[in-house]
Structures are given as structure tokens and as C-alpha cells.
Amino acid sequence: MRQRIAVIGAGPAGLTFARVLRRHGHPVTVFERDPGPGARPAGGALDLHEELGQRALDRAGLLEEFRVLSRPEGQAMRILDTDGTVLRDWRPRPDDLANPEIDRGQLRDLLLGPLDVRWGRRVSEVAPGTRDGVLIRFADGRQETFDLVVGADGAWSRVRPAVSPATPHYTGVTLVETSLDDVDTRHPGLARLVGDGSLAVYGVNRALVAQRNSGGHVKVYAQFRAPLDWHTDLNWHTDLNWHTDLDRHTDLGRRLDPRLGPDGHGSADGHAGLGAARGRALDLADAGAVRAALLALFDGWAEPVLDLLRHGSAFVHRPLHVLPVRHTWDHVPGVTLLGDAAHLMPPLGVGANLAMLEGAELAESVAAASGPADLDEAVRAFEERMWARAGRWAEITGAGLDRLVSPDPARALALFDEVQPS
């Protein structure tokens, strides 16, 4: 008898699960809250590891298509000192396929393929143990039941509460993301600075990372240790002496964002301008204000490095949250989790890879199950394997974040040398 299977979330974990299950001839229903695949930016590139993400794609029958789309040259990594000195400049061999890069959007489209995703279906609750199976309640009032519901719906999962009371907690590190378009034509100097892969600059409790995507697009991430409410915490800004630094960057912010008035405040249309530096909260929706604040935070760094912020367009606030390192739960028949929903960890190149491999492994276990009891035992065994592996990686990435954004920038350089010796 075919089991009724649903996966919540059309990210790498959920789509890999669905593709592998479909390859084994088993129907699966994918629910996604976004109204369509292009509803929001897909995010930066991913490096898919040979033993994790690439293995998952192989099980989905998509490895060769991935190799056509991927960018092995994107594995390159350059590290600068804050004064612009090149500390490391690692480039992969032409035949190095250990961790090639692929844009998230390209990976999503590759995995989507023939899958029938029910877009615009936001889950409000998952209730196991009903007479007809696991009940999914949707925000629009509709309900459906399944024999197995797989939560692959990310950090703030609506499926997780069905098995675990755990919620993500803030790491103390915040990212602010911006981007540069058509960089090779519009900013050739920055294109040469970033190179074919990624660029990183590490300072005291802060870092700037730039990552080349396809099509001349570069993602830039300002990383720093701060309270979660740093943009409204006036005491934190005062402690950093932002007032003076922001005064120095006011004219720059005004020239790059004409909405700013002559004093750096918002103009008559209501924009907050430099916000906290003037005794008010920083408006994260005001690109000029955020740009000026970041330039103040990284004041004194090499001018070409700061140009990555000066020429950035919109700025997106991304505080980093994680789940407990050894997050587990008492097995609940009919419900399980994958990826960030199960083991949210710092974004150091492992999370999506783990999520995809988990999706492939769970799909194969489900496809091999011969009945309800066998299905439940297969899911239980999968969870045990996932917890052990994810727990190890959560410890590694947590320790890695502590070294990459720390009071001693030398710790970040040492970590690179351990992972990628020259």
C-alpha cells in the first residue's frame, strides 16, 4: 500500500527528498508558503561537497546536470588584512570538483524539474495522532491528512512544534547582506578584488565577505558581534563611538542615497537617515542610513574593501540563530524534520549539504518501507543517524563561527589554513 507522504518546504532539503522519492516511483506532495519559485531572492551561491550535497544529487539522478551548471572556479578563496594586504590567495586546480559552487536559484530549478509543488500553501499547524493520520492545518483554513509529514521548512519551522519545543536562539553575530550587479562592467576593480570565488577580510569582532555568483553578481556580507537589537540599542552605538564616525560618512551616505537631508537625517518623506547616531533607532529599511552605519563600523579598513559596501544596493538584516547543538526529540510517529528545521547551525557551508543528503537518505528509507510499521521504524532509524551526524557538524560550525568573528582575527586565518592548507 502506498503511504501518503507530504513535505513542507521547497528548499534544498524538501526538494531533494521529493526528487529521490519520485525517482523510486513514490508519489509525494510538496507544500511551499511562497507563491512561486521566483517570489523572493534565492540567496547566495552554495558550495556542494563531494561527500554530502553531490552525493544527494547523484541519488536523485542529477549529478551530471549539476556539473554542467556548477562553477568549480568558484572554490577560490582570497583573504585580506584590513589594510588590503593579501594574506592568502588559494585557487583550485582545473580538475578540482570537491566543492564547486552553484547559485541557489539554479539549484532550486534543477531540483524542481517535474515536481508538482503546491505554491502559496502556508502551514499553521501540524497535528499528529489523528484517526486519519497526521493533520496539516493551513493558514487559509484548509486541512489535509497524510501518513508521513516531513518538515523541511527552515529555521522557524511550523512542523517542529509537533515533535520538539526547541526554538532557535541568537548567536551574538549579525549579518547585513548587500549585493553588486554587473560587477565586471560597472566595478571592474572590485571584480578583480573578489576574483572567481570568495573574498574575506577579518577584523576585531567583525568581518566582510564577498562571494561571486554567476552573471556578474556579487553578494557581500558584513558580519559583526552585536546585540540582537543593535540597530535600536543606543547605548551600543555610543560605546562604539559611532557618532563621530557617522558624521564622517554622512556626506557619502547623502551622495549615494539622495533621500537623506543635508544633516544626514531623513528628508521630508519620512526616512530615518542616520538614525541611532542622532539619538534615534537606525531604520533598517533605509539603505543610505544602513550603508553609512556599516561604513562607520568598518571605518579605517582599506578603501577598496569599503567600496564593497559603498556600491551595495539594498541591505538585508540577517541575525544568525541556531538550534541547540545536540537537538533531538522523542520520536513522533508520522512526523520528522530535515535540514534547518532539525539542526539549524551557522552558515559555514555545511547546512544545505547536510539537508540535501538527509533528504535523499530519508526518501530511500521511505521508498523501501513495506507498510505503516516498517515506515515508522525506517523514519526512527533515520532520525538516529541524522542526529549523530548533525550534532558533530553543529559543534564544528559553532566553533568555526567563534573563530571567524572573534576579538583575534588571527584565529580566522588559522582556521582557513587548517581547512584549506596552502
Binding residues for NADPH: 40
For residues 28, 51, 354, 14, the Cα torsion angle rounded to the nearest 10 degrees is: -20
Answer for the pair 128, 337: CB distance below 8 angstroms, yes or no: no
In whole angstroms, how large is the CA radius of gyration of the chain? 23
Q: Could you give the 3-state DSSP secondary structure of residue 63? A: helix
Q: What DSSP element (H or E) covers 66?
A: helix 63-69
User: What is the CA 257 to chain-centroid distance, rounded?
Assistant: 28
Helices (H), 257-332: 287-297, 303-310
To which H or E segment does residue 56 belong?
A: helix 53-59
Sheet of 143-146, strand order: 123-130, 133-138, 143-146
Neighbours of 180 (CB within 10 A): 22
DSSP conformation class of 71: B
C-alpha to C-alpha distances, 252 to 90, 106, 243, nearest whole angstrom: 34, 36, 15
* Alpha carbons 372 and 133: distance in angstroms, whole number: 11
* Chain-centroid distance, C-alpha 347: 6
**Cβ-based neighbour number of residue 354 at 10 Å:** 27
167 burial type by CB count under 10 A (0-12 exposed, 13-18 middle, 19+ buried): middle
Integer Cα distance of 176 and 171 in angstroms? 15
CA within 13 Å, CB half, 304: 18
Annotated binding site, which residues? Answer: 40, 47, 104, 340
323 touches 343 (CB < 8 A): yes
Grid cell listed for 395: 559543534
Annotated binding site for FAD: 47, 104, 340
Contacts of 36 (CB under 8 A, 6+ apart): 119, 120
